[in-house]
Chains A and B, each alone.
Chain A
Amino acid sequence: MSATDIRDSDSPAIARGFRLQWEPAQSAHVLLYPEGMVKLNGSAGEILRRCDGVATLAEIVSDLEGAFSRSGLRADVVAFLTLAAERGWVAFRGRDEQAGAIGDGGE
């Protein structure tokens, strides 16, 4: 998937087999997948926790802009989601149901 592929009306969701959660011991959001873990930085965590398969890209962007009193975040969000989709962390409802569930990263 390339950056131009993600549309405002798309609703990203955490892909099958992955789980996002807040880890107090690491003070970070982490993404868990079979036998592995990615520790996310602050903005990645904030984006991913809004990927519930319902909210659209446009809604996620405006929600983030509201929460952090910033504007012009769309490009950053799209860039991150593009990367996340390439790694198989997120899938887009109805578009790429078969995005990989087994991560590459981790150990």
Chain B
Amino acid sequence: MAASERNGVTMPASVRPGPPLWLLFELTYRCPLQCVFCYNPVDFARLDQELATDEWLRVLHEARALGSVQLGLSGGEPLTRDDLEEITAEAHSLGFYTNLITSGVGLTQARLERLRTAGLDHIQLSFQDSTREMNDFLSHTRTFDLKRRVAGWIKALDYPMVLNCVIHRLNIDHIDKIIEMAVEMGAEYLELANAQYYSWAHLNRDALLPSRAQLQAAEETTNRWRDRLQGRMRILFVVPDYYEERPKRCMNGWGSTFMTVTPDGTALPCHTARMLPGLEFPNVRTSSVREIWYDSEGFNRFRGFGWMKEPCASCPEREKDFGGCRCQAYLLANDAAAADPVCSKSPFHHVVTEAVERAQQSRPVEKPLVFRHKEESLTRSDPALIRDS
């Protein structure tokens, strides 16, 4: 009998969402790197009241009781929290599948062994590029050698070796080398995902959006490797959604599956939702996970279809993509309830196509890259200032 049936009455899904299956803990905004595509809020440095260990543990218990099963541990750099082992152990014993998303900076072999003992299920290691110079340029620190070592430890502990490399205009031409490096390290899975243009990547978008020719060459290179590797290493290549005609099915639908908890305890339906104006998001310090998930305005605001405007409201495809990403709608159309401008039916689609057209010109980048560091962040209090207009 379906769980949504009570007294013989079937509740429509929009009234009662399923459990928050996916829980993401952004444990900290502290990070030794300064990636130009970082998805942390541009004013992260103002948000420095991190939850204490027992608060994270309480959230774990509450979420698990509601039915959460996947836990992502990310940041910032989650390794900067020295209670990472404790949080992992508690999550594991509660029945979470625990995923660590890390740049590897701050990891030692001993620490990785402790995490393994604590019950860590999976590690995703991110690389910025394959050549040390490019890697250092893009992440602004010398970390490449360390990552190679970390990859070795991950394999030695018999974890699947999963690499993630954020792709963009400045490194996409190195994709052959990136794949070669991943093969050399014995990766089983390589994710080559183009940067998504929020937060820092949005600030740097014109410098980061690749041209059509670059994308095509990169896909051809990827396919050549796929043929050669015959499944020994799987490669996922994700093109920037700016090149699509339809938006992504963002977060599998707002408030349907995901809950992110930010370092200061704010609960969000996606990790960039904080930028949306006029929406109150609850905090785990003052609300239970149950209240947050089922009853808060922030999580209910874009659930289902009732909030939609045209062209989404009457669109036959609305169940496919839920109108796309609310943050992108806000950034590009200045209205969080609009269709995601990636959609060719959006009246603001031209904002996307213009950015794409600019990306076809070979030109020196006029604006300097903005690196994600604290001083820079402190100058940026209002995310609205960086919207497209």
Q: Which residues of A contact B (CB under 8 A)?
A: 16-17, 19, 21, 23-27, 30, 32-37, 100-102, 107
Contact = CB atoms under 8 A, between A and B. Distances in A.
Interface string B95-119: 1010100000000000000000000
A33 B66 contact: no
Interface of B: 3, 19, 21-22, 66-67, 69-70, 72, 95, 97, 99, 121-122, 124, 158-160, 162, 188-189, 234, 252, 257
Contacts of A16: 158, 160
14 contacts: A17-B121, A23-B67, A24-B67, A25-B67, A26-B67, A27-B3, A32-B69, A34-B122, A35-B122, A36-B70, A101-B188, A102-B162, A102-B188, A107-B257
A1 B83 CA distance: 43
A19 to B, nearest CB: 6
Nearest to B1: A27
A35 B70 contact: yes
B66 A25 contact: yes
B235 to A, nearest CB: 12
Contacts of A37: 21, 69-70, 97
Contacts of B67: 23-26
B61 to A, nearest CB: 14
A27 B95 CA distance: 15
Given A34-B160, A34-B162, 7 more contacts: A17-B121, A21-B95, A25-B3, A25-B66, A34-B122, A35-B72, A100-B188
B69 A34 contact: no
Contacts of B189: 102
B121 A102 contact: no
Contacts of B72: 35
